[in-house]
Chain A
């Protein structure tokens, strides 16, 4: 056991290495740069490749190519770079190429404030690229979770052949906490298993609910890759009898597995009439406020979402049935609150928000509980 004081961004880098990431392409940007710094130093030591690209559009393209070539791949950025990556995130969705995109959120819009904290990319993570599509986004609340959820991000991206967004924030990315990381050898990630012969292999086989295995290029399996709607071997098609099954399969491929994708922490109290619901660094504030409230004898539920997308509809709906009011602290003007309102109705939701680079404080949350 060796406890180290580690920064969240470093934990993300180590999580990638532990998960078997062996290709990183990126363009440095505050407050995510430490991820690239660590991987530029450590990836070559484990036989991996690090490349600094000319911009974020190219970075995203490179990691898609890296994964098609057979290496688990990642990039890291912040808001302005995440905006540039959206086009190719859509390409990864369309072509079902696993990859991990780390977004350490900073204050926006535009260049905003590079060193100021934010959770303003919640909706961009869901809908930043055009067209209907599934996406997974995980949001750590601590340095240890930054490691664990990076590992999970790789596992889920392989399992469901989808880009996974690690939606961190400046607070978690830059703060240092004591951590004792697990032995990397104990970490297991979903591996693609291609059982069909090369002659029968279909990279985009459309059995409902199916996630066909991805064969790496250069291993004898032939398929075509395009951002256009495509048939089961990947060639462009406009035939509805080929487009519809694709839409059906891809847009439902997460649905049967939500229990394996949804990570959250419930700390519920019998008789509570109010609940706090949060994520990322703001979840720490919510937990602090919960303890203050309980010290005062106020009963309160706390729900911390580690999986933001797909939104944990079932669990939030159930929470709405337990309590009269749900308070949602976040560092934006209420992006996740939209989703909570969608599940439990606007009248039940109270936003406690800040979008100026500062954290919500426990007192602000407490005030919302008492008034």
Chain B
């Protein structure tokens, strides 16, 4: 006999191919499982393109068994491109959290969206827009606490290519700082 249905937090990370959203999902799942003692399932979908096209990464996090492995109705959606917002912005659960990149997404149809200049923050902090996925993880975890901050830090550092640890650490801090500002506003 198995137990009842365990509570689950469903997260959908979406952007253009090449923005690192699939890797962000893997890092979040590693933070939850290897470094956070929870259970998680990460899955993804993407088109045939190497860059561009819509890319989506999903993470389900739970203290218990995860049965259906895909997101059913996300608690959190992060959209880093207009296409990602158009496809997935409306999928967030009522009362859930929608985070968009303020410079890339016109979220007029979603007045409750949290608008942060995620890619710009990444560029200003590290000089590289490719750290936007790390900033986004800082924002997401800063706002939700779905994993503990030290667990996320460990997961990011374990995945960061050698020589980029400090850069990723800074990007992560920028994300957490932006989340604090949202919480205090």
Contact = CB atoms under 8 A, between A and B. Distances in A.
Nearest to B38: A178
B77 interface: no
A253 interface: no
A171 B43 contact: yes
A3 B72 contact: no
Interface residues of B, number: 26
Interface residues of A, number: 26
Given A114-B48, A295-B5, A287 B67 contact: yes
Interface in A7-48: none
B69 A291 contact: no
Contacts of B1: 267, 269
Contacts of B29: 5, 176
Contact of A178 (B26, B39, B44, B46): B39
Interface string A258-284: 000000000101000000000001001
B34 A175 contact: no
B145 interface: no
Contacts of B43: 171, 174-176
B33 A178 contact: yes
B48 A361 contact: no
A281 B33 contact: no
A298 to B, nearest CB: 13
B26 A359 contact: no
Interface string A280-296: 01001101100110110
Given A288-B5, A292-B5, A5 B69 contact: no
- Select the residue from A4, A114, A288, A361 with max chain B CB neighbours within 10 A: A288
Contacts of B2: 267, 287, 291
Contact of B4 (A176, A267, A295, A363): A295
B36 to A, nearest CB: 10
B5 A291 contact: yes
Interface of A: 3-5, 114-115, 171, 174-178, 267, 269, 281, 284-285, 287-288, 291-292, 294-295, 359, 361-363
Interface of B: 1-5, 26, 29-30, 33-34, 39-48, 66-70, 72
25 contacts: A5-B26, A5-B34, A5-B42, A171-B69, A174-B44, A175-B42, A175-B69, A176-B26, A177-B41, A178-B33, A178-B39, A178-B40, A267-B1, A267-B2, A269-B1, A284-B67, A284-B69, A285-B68, A287-B2, A291-B5, A291-B67, A294-B4, A359-B68, A362-B67, A363-B72
